[in-house]
Structure 1
Amino acid sequence: MQKTRHFVTVSTALMLSLGLMLVFAVGTASAHAKVISSTPGMGQTVATAPTSISVTTAENMNPDPKKSNLFVYSPAGDLISQGDAKIPLNNPKEMSVPIKATGSGIYVVRWVTVSADDNDPAEGAFTFTVNPAGGNATTGVEAKPTAAPSTQPATATQSSSPVVPAVITGIIALLVGLGAGFGFGRTRPAPVTSAESAKPEDKITSK
């Protein structure tokens, strides 16, 4: 009985440690190389149309334009970014692209990135507004960043916050299962009937 209790205690400690590792791993993986700031600012209104767009990401980006890039659209919906975005090798968290602004209105910036740290993809979009009569106001809308579909086998995905409660719930369920298996699942052996307890020679004699 003492050994069983010791095993349950060790198993519980191991499960809790594993759960904490999973929670921290999920929190780290969910960051990705998402955009955290930009010029012009996300949702900002500026008086003069910019000639380029730049963004800063949470993690280093893969500099391959097929994996990390910016696409800027005019108020009319036309693609106005000129060529591929550039990522300097000495600052892989910065990405910029020249644009051909078309005047006043709401511009849309779509970004796609692949983290150079863990190769996880992400994408998102935000807007800024050009209005000569009302610069430096916040009127645009930032689209929520999303993780891009990955063709690689899923491991620790970047699930958003619902993953953490799911991990905790799984740990609790596992601990309850351990308790049931070691605490409540122990039953006494069924009593042996007189017929089953009879010795072989007794059965032969009775015949």
Structure 2
Amino acid sequence: IRVRGENAFGFLQAESGVHRLVRISPFDAAKRRHTSFASVFVYPEIEGDITVEIRDEDIRIDTFRASSAGGQHVNKTSSAVRLTHMPTGIVISSQNERSQIQNREMAFKVLRARLFELERQKKKEALDQISGAGNKKENAWGSQIRSYVLQPYQIVKDHRTGIETSRVDEVLDGKLDLFIRGYLLARWEGKLFSGRPEDLPEV
């Protein structure tokens, strides 16, 4: 689901986590209560592609004679190329092509791919830090941030803030302001629940 609007991520990050639903399953002929879990992950959409810039002053180029697996020279010229990217310490060697120019081109292709992957990983780590993906928990009891109980009584309770309401239908229809604002205020005041999972109150 994509949500657009002013401060959309700032508000909806309050919904990241495990949500627990207790209901009478429509698929159970015995009409027993069933508990389900859903994991919600909220993250900002970051526009722009990754651009890899390789500056000449950041590269050290060394040439050497290419050798076969048996140690014999493939040729008598220094056709093999070794690139060292000084800022990252990445070293790329290429000696399988016939000429130094071809090996140089291949080495730069590999270096560009390595730098692209490095930047992609940095962006992913930054995104995980912003969105809290590193704190994502498994879908199980003790991990839930909020419980939605439809049977035998009706209540929605946020376990991080203690806020609850019996207006279950409104919440399930998307009226989340009570919980979102409560979460943001509690986080600002440092009053979010931070105890052990087994200390969560039964709902």
TM-score where L is the length of structure 1: 0.25
Larger radius of gyration between Structure 1 and Structure 2: 1
TM-score (norm. length: structure 2): 0.25
Q: Which has the higher contact order (CA 8 A, sep 6+)?
A: 1
